[in-house]
């Protein structure tokens, strides 16, 4: 079933209706103060659309991990304040999630007004996707909108269960994630280049297996490359290498050959003495890594090789840095690849928490088509898994 067929808020008739909106307001907080309100800001287009179309908007989200217990430390109060500031209207906070206060406030909402429920994870049924809680959420509203992509891989009451009892649609944030990543996976503009890196093969097996079926070129860098090199018979010194994944690496390389996927591994590397930012380093070809040294980045010949394949791409999906990009001496490969992706003119998609952080930190964020907001959710999406928070939404 295609994910591209889901109803969006624009398919709903929201005027005069109570609309329950699951957002991702899991903001960064320190001592009760929001230190980054990016997630609130990102949610505004969906909320504003609903308000402008005279809906009665009931917002909800989780915040932190209160583990099914009411805990003032995880109250949504700062979020309600932040929303009020950005929307220019008072967003009242219910004292509970689905209790008396929530019902009273919801009943008193006028068209074009918004309220916020308390932290959905105050309810023990939330993470268990308890049908009783889902029904209680549904009883607050007439329509359900899910705009929390970062939680879409979890089947919880407010992210999935509630959709069993209400007509539903996705919000703008969710829609963009689905549109860009869904199209890339279902019907990519070719050539389709997948770039995978990061620490371990074992974290990315599902992603490699799914993308190998779809892409024209598969580029492997980062720590995971050393397991593949080892499988090819090279010695990799003290590089991060998963000995128990050598057979899998061989199978994946055979699969790439069978599918006629252009499979690229680093031909040279920046190696270091120790896993430390200021360790002595040098550049060396992949068949000559000495004992007692570890690969911490791709080398300059590899940068050129990878960049050449990326420049002509129609679609690029990138997950996982090319080296230990947190450290200046080992960030060169990730910077070069980011530059190639940015200049490629391809539809470019960055998935994965560390990859997104690297691209932002290195200053390439504006040049990418899409940086997925969900770490775990985007990985599962790239693995080709059905995400409960998307699957539950009505089709057009
Ligand atoms: P993402 O979060 O984007 O999915 P990962 O979590 O898989 O990415 O990988 C990111 C981590 O991989 C970073 O912390 C980076 O330092 C590490 N890494 C990349 N290359 C190497 C390497 N050659 N050796 C050890 N760690 C590496
Ligand atoms: Mg990570």
Q: Locate 196 and state its tokens.
A: 């995978």
Residue at token pair 């690496």: 249
Ligand 1 pocket, 321 CB below 6 A?
yes
Q: Kindly give the distance from the C-alpha atom of residue 352 to the centroid of ligand 2, in angstroms, as a whole number.
A: 6
CA–CA separation, 335 vs 341, rounded Å? Answer: 10
Give nearest CA residue, ligand 1 atom 21: 223
For the chain, what percentages of helix, strand and coil (3-state, to nearest 5) are there? 40, 20, 40
Q: Locate 266 and state its tokens.
A: 């680093």
- By most ligand atoms within 8 Å of CB, the mutation choice from 211, 221, 223, 240 for ligand 1 is 223
What atom of ligand 1 comes closest to residue 203's alpha carbon?
A: 7
Ligand 1 pocket, 352 CB below 6 A?
yes
Q: Which residues have CB under 8 Å from 264's CB, separation 6+?
A: 217, 218, 219, 220, 305, 306, 309
What per-residue string of b and e applies to 195-207 under the rule 16 or more CB within 10 Å gives b?
Answer: bbbbbbbeebbeb
CA–CA separation, 103 vs 109, rounded Å? Answer: 10
Domains plus CATH for the chain?
A: 9-173 (3.40.50.1260), 180-382 (3.40.50.1260)
CA–CA separation, 229 vs 240, rounded Å? Answer: 11
Does an H or E element contain 290, and which?
Answer: none
Q: pLDDT at residue 367 above 90?
A: yes
C-alpha angle 67-72-75 in degrees, rounded to nearest 5 = 80
Between 357 and 16, residue with greater pLDDT: 16
Give nearest CA residue, ligand 1 atom 9: 198
Averaged pLDDT, 109-116: 98
Give me the residues paired with residue 268 across strands: 285
CA–CA separation, 167 vs 146, rounded Å? Answer: 11
Mean pLDDT of the chain: 96
Predicted pLDDT of residue 1: 67
Q: What is the pLDDT of residues 162-205, one digit of tens each?
A: 999 999 999 999 999 999 999 999 999 999 999 999 999 999 99
Q: Kindly give the distance from the C-alpha atom of residue 379 to the centroid of ligand 2, in angstroms, as a whole number.
A: 10
Does an H or E element contain 144, and which?
Answer: strand 143-146
Q: Kindly give the distance from the C-alpha atom of residue 353 to the centroid of ligand 1, in angstroms, as a whole number.
A: 10
Q: Kindly give the distance from the C-alpha atom of residue 386 to the centroid of ligand 1, in angstroms, as a whole number.
A: 25
Q: What is the pLDDT of residues 231-286, one digit of tens each?
A: 999 999 999 999 999 999 999 999 999 999 999 999 999 999 999 999 999 999 99
Pairing of strands 281-285, 268-272: antiparallel
Q: Report residues near ion ligand 2: CB below 5 Å.
A: 353-354
CA–CA separation, 346 vs 307, rounded Å? Answer: 13
Q: Kindly give the distance from the C-alpha atom of residue 59 to the centroid of ligand 1, in angstroms, as a whole number.
A: 35
What atom of ligand 1 comes closest to residue 358's alpha carbon?
A: 3
User: Mind telling me the catalytic residues?
Assistant: 39, 200, 353, 376
Ligand 1 pocket, 296 CB below 6 A?
yes
CA–CA separation, 357 vs 371, rounded Å? Answer: 10
Averaged pLDDT, 292-311: 98
Between 222 and 356, residue with greater pLDDT: 222
Ligand 1 pocket, 199 CB below 6 A?
yes
Averaged pLDDT, 194-222: 96
Does an H or E element contain 59, and which?
Answer: strand 56-60
């Amino acid at each position: 079933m295609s994910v591209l067929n889901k109803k969006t808020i624009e398919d709903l008739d929201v005027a005069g209706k109570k609309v329950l909106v699951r957002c991702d307001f899991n903001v960064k907080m320190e001592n009760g103060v929001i230190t980054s309100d990016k997630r609130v800001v990102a949610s505004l287009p969906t909320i504003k659309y609903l308000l402008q179309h005279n809906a009665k908007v009931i917002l909800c989200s989780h915040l932190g991990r209160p583990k099914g217990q009411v805990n003032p430390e995880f109250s949504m109060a700062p979020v309600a304040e932040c929303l009020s500031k950005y929307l220019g209207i008072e967003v009242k906070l219910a004292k509970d999630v689905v209790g008396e206060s929530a019902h009273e406030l919801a009943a008193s909402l006028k068209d074009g007004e918004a309220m916020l429920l308390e932290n959905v994870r105050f309810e023990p049924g939330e993470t268990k996707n308890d049908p009783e809680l889902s029904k209680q959420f549904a009883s607050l509203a007439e329509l359900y909108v899910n705009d929390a992509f970062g939680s879409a891989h979890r089947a919880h009451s407010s992210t999935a269960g509630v959709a069993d009892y209400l007509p539903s649609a996705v919000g703008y944030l969710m829609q963009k994630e689905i549109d860009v990543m869904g199209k890339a996976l279902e019907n990519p503009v070719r050539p389709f280049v997948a770039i995978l890196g990061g620490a371990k093969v074992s974290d990315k097996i599902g992603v490699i297996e799914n993308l190998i079926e779809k892409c024209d070129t598969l580029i492997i860098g980062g720590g995971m490359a050393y397991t593949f090199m080892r499988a090819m018979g090279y010695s990799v010194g003290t590089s991060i290498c998963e000995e128990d994944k050598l057979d899998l690496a061989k199978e994946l390389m055979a699969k790439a050959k069978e599918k006629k996927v252009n499979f690229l591994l680093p031909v040279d590397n920046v190696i270091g003495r120790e896993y430390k930012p200021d360790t002595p380093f040098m550049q060396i070809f992949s068949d000559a890594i000495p004992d007692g040294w570890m690969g911490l980045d791709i080398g300059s010949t590899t940068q050129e090789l990878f960049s050449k394949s990326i420049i002509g791409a129609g679609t690029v999906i990138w997950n996982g840095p090319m080296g230990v990009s947190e450290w200046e001496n080992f960030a060169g490969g990730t910077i070069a690849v980011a530059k190639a992706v940015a200049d490629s003119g391809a539809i470019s998609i960055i998935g994965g928490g560390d990859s997104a952080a690297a691209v932002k930190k290195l200053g390439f964020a504006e040049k990418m088509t899409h940086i997925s907001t969900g770490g775990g959710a985007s990985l599962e999406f790239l693995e080709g898994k059905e995400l409960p928070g998307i699957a539950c939404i009505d089709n057009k």
